[in-house]
């Protein structure tokens, strides 16, 4: 645990907690495992498991209308599931924070992750979502802090892309 790589999820969680986020919507993901566990254990937060990523956008719209801040945790492959629902964010103008663990990048062995991994940032930008990126442990919390300001002070939709160099590549062996 002395490795800086192991502390970035805790630093992100501290930023979310300091910004008084109350709802953390997520699709289970190994890259977000620490954040999910921390949200589940935090009495001031409600961690809400989703069946699909786009449910999180509607859930967080309702949270905002009810006076609560939240974030959506997902993998880059889930961004494709959200594109149509992001029209609601843009049309209705409510703030949205997404933390996206990237797949299909550095060291990826799963060919199914490559197309959406390559298209994630562009797809989000086309739907009016600003993107910030963290590829090193030291950049993760500061990217989330910057996004929190853009989202909740500026009213924007922002996705922080947590790069595969940061979260680590998963092994995927086919026919070996």
33-41 vs 8-18: helix crossing angle, rounded to 10: 40
Task: Give the C-alpha separation, 162 to 45, whole Å.
Answer: 22
Task: Give the C-alpha separation, 138 to 142, whole Å.
Answer: 8
Percent over 90 (pLDDT), the chain: 78
H/E segment holding residue 47: strand 46-49
- Predicted confidence at residue 113, as pLDDT, reads 84
Q: At residue 104, does pLDDT exceed 90?
A: no
Task: Give the C-alpha separation, 46 to 80, whole Å.
Answer: 25
Q: What is the pLDDT of residues 29-75, one digit of tens each?
A: 999 999 999 999 999 999 999 999 999 999 999 999 999 999 999 99
Look at 170 and 64; give whichever has higher pLDDT: 64
| Structure token pair of residue 173 | 């062996």
- Predicted confidence at residue 77, as pLDDT, reads 92
- The per-residue pLDDT of the chain, averaged, comes to 91
- Predicted confidence at residue 5, as pLDDT, reads 47
Short-list 100, 95, 109, 87, CA closest to 171: 109
Task: Give the C-alpha separation, 141 to 120, whole Å.
Answer: 21
- Predicted confidence at residue 1, as pLDDT, reads 36
Q: What is the pLDDT of residues 64-79, one digit of tens each?
A: 999 999 999 999 999 9
């Amino acid at each position: 645990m002395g490795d800086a790589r192991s502390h970035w999820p805790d630093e992100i969680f501290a930023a979310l907690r300091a910004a008084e986020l109350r709802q953390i919507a997520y699709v289970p993901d190994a890259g977000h495992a620490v954040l999910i566990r921390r949200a589940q254990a935090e009495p001031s937060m409600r961690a809400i498991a989703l069946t699909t990523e786009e449910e999180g956008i509607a859930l967080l719209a309702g949270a905002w209308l009810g006076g609560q801040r939240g974030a959506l945790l997902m993998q880059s492959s889930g961004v494709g599931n959200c594109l149509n629902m992001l029209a609601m964010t843009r049309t209705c103008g409510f703030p949205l924070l997404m933390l996206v663990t990237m797949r299909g990048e550095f060291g990826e062995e799963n060919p199914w992750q490559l197309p959406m991994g390559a298209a994630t940032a562009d797809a989000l930008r086309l739907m009016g979502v600003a993107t910030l990126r963290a590829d090193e442990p030291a950049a993760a919390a500061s990217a989330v802090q910057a996004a929190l300001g853009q989202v909740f002070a500026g009213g924007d939709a922002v996705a922080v892309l947590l790069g595969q160099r940061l979260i680590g590549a998963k092994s995927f062996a086919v026919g070996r």
